[in-house]
Chain A
Amino acid sequence: MKNAGQYLRRFACAYFVFAWFSQCESDARPRSRGSPPLPQAEARVAEAVPVGHAPKLDGTMNDPLWLNAKPITDFRQREPREGEPATEKTEVRILYTRHAVYFGIHCYDSAPTRIVATELRRDVSQDLDDHFEILINSNHDRRGGYVFEINPLGTQSDGLVVEEQSGSEGTDFQTVCITSLAIS
């Protein structure tokens, strides 16, 4: 256990607690309707769990409500080796209420002194920073969605993808999202 403790201390843990509030009465649907299911080997499901009220947004996942959510851990690389397992551990939990979706994101980093976080401006590209990105394809057509980004400074960016194109980003498109962050 001592070795495990030393190992864990090597990680910088960034907690993002991210809430997206729907402005309409749409419900959060964790599963698709009408679309043919993917083969089991390819199906990767992020399950959102309903809760009666919002979890505490304090930059941690200490609120017992988060225990209801099944952690999502099987992340893959996009670059440089697309499809291979991620080189850093990440855990995500998703909750939803009648009006909002909550993402609890725990990003481990094996080289915390090399975390890149330089952007404090809202709604500009975070490509130069380490950042976490959420893309919600609420129509389940695989051609569009809502994009939310957050970097280790807590800076937010949101946008809209329309027909696989970045339709509206930055100040043209605003959502109601609240982020709290803690780095330990």
Chain B
Amino acid sequence: MRASPAPAPPEATALEFHDLTVAYHTKPVLWDVDLSVPSGHLVAVVGPNGAGKSTLLKSALGLVPLSSGYVRVFGQAYDDVRTRVAYVPQRESVDWDFPASVFDVVLMGRYGRRGWFRRPDAGDRRTAREALERVGMAEYADRQISRLSGGQQQRTFLARALAQDADLYMMDEPFAGVDAVTERAIIALLRELRDRGRTVVCVHHDLQTVREYFDWVVLLNMRLVAAGPVDEAFLTEKLQATYGGRLGILETAATQLLTERQGRSTK
């Protein structure tokens, strides 16, 4: 019951990675990745721990130095299309005891768009409030961020990204450590974005929900293993190639079991 195809966005390609290699110190994290992600899809980036999934997102956002290759966003350098991209970092990457309210954090989503030396105006505040409503957090606007549950923290980050009103959303594990209700609310929101022609790219860990949630998938383990529509790329042998390489026999068997079960349940 997938929604009807989105109206064609101005660019057919949201993200292009050309011969991308990224290394931290001397250890390569991404190796020679060539990848085009079409726009208007809900995309999962899947792979084992340390496969370079987060780094792939960060390389597109200009947040890590590239060893070689280049990345294009909507066909341009990131700095030229920055206002069209919203990033949702991992929830654990910040200290939630920081003195700020939920609304303060969501308002940060407007900073990049409205000029740095101007105070946020009534329009910015309205956009931030609307973003909070869309994630079901309107009544938490004045809540201290130190008093949020994990799911509420994730919703706050999502609202901040929504307040940026972007065309491309890059999310690092938006479902990590959230409750079932939040997970359903988030996926509904991501589908709504996709159905309005936006592109959403998520680092995702739960192989079981890939088919249900996403329509496009990137399998990554330092190198690009496969990419494409879920039906074409999310296949048992591709998953084995993704997870098999670095894992022991036991884990390979577990992955196999998991994907077999998945294969059965979707038939």
A and B physically associate:
no
B residues at A contact (CB < 8 Å): none
A residues at B contact (CB < 8 Å): none
